[in-house]
């Protein structure tokens, strides 16, 4: 049985997979970026939990990351559309069907990346904070 952390990350990846952009999890940037854009979910860091006693519970603010990448002549508009669609998807269900307490994205910091012999990439990391509680730090 998967841990709550893995269940939440898998649910977030499934949610991102409903978008028109290709959604990967933990993969390297492919040689070609799909026309609709690319999202790569990185598991990130769970950080130090707050601990409560009686009953024992570990409260995490896990920081995952979504890498958003677009390429092409109209990459500024495509990038804006891609980031907005991620935000809309997250806002539609901030608990991922009750799997976590709260899910919140932070603002991306876009950069243009030159590619030799091709149109440059526009990319950003979108930090996503996953709030959840577990009974054990390894579960």
In the chain the beta strands, taken as DSSP E runs, fall at: 22-25, 38-45, 50-52, 57-71, 102-105, 111-115, 118-134
Which pTM value belongs to this model? 0.93
| CA 28 – CA 117 distance, rounded (Å) | 20
**Cβ neighbours around 90 below 10 Å, total:** 19
- pLDDT in 10s for each residue of the chain, 139 residues: 899 999 999 999 999 999 999 999 999 988 889 999 999 999 999 999 999 998 999 999 999 999 999 998 889 999 999 999 999 999 999 999 999 999 999 999 899 888 887 778 999 999 999 999 999 998 8
pLDDT at 65: 97
95 within 8 A of 102, measured Cβ to Cβ:
yes
CATH of domain 4-134: 3.30.70
């Amino acid at each position: 049985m998967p841990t709550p952390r893995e269940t939440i990350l898998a649910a977030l990846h499934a949610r991102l997979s409903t978008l028109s952009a290709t959604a990967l999890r933990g993969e390297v940037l492919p040689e070609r970026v799909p026309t609709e854009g690319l999202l790569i979910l990185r598991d990130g860091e769970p950080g130090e939990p707050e601990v409560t006693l009686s009953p024992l519970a570990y409260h995490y603010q896990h920081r995952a990351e979504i890498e958003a990448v677009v390429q092409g002549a109209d990459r500024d508009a495509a990038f804006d559309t891609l980031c907005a669609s991620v935000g809309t998807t997250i806002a539609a269900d901030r608990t991922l069907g009750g799997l976590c307490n709260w899910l919140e994205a932070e603002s991306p910091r876009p950069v243009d990346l030159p590619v030799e012999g091709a149109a440059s990439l526009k990319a950003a990391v979108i930090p996503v904070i996953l709030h959840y509680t577990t009974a054990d730090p390894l579960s």
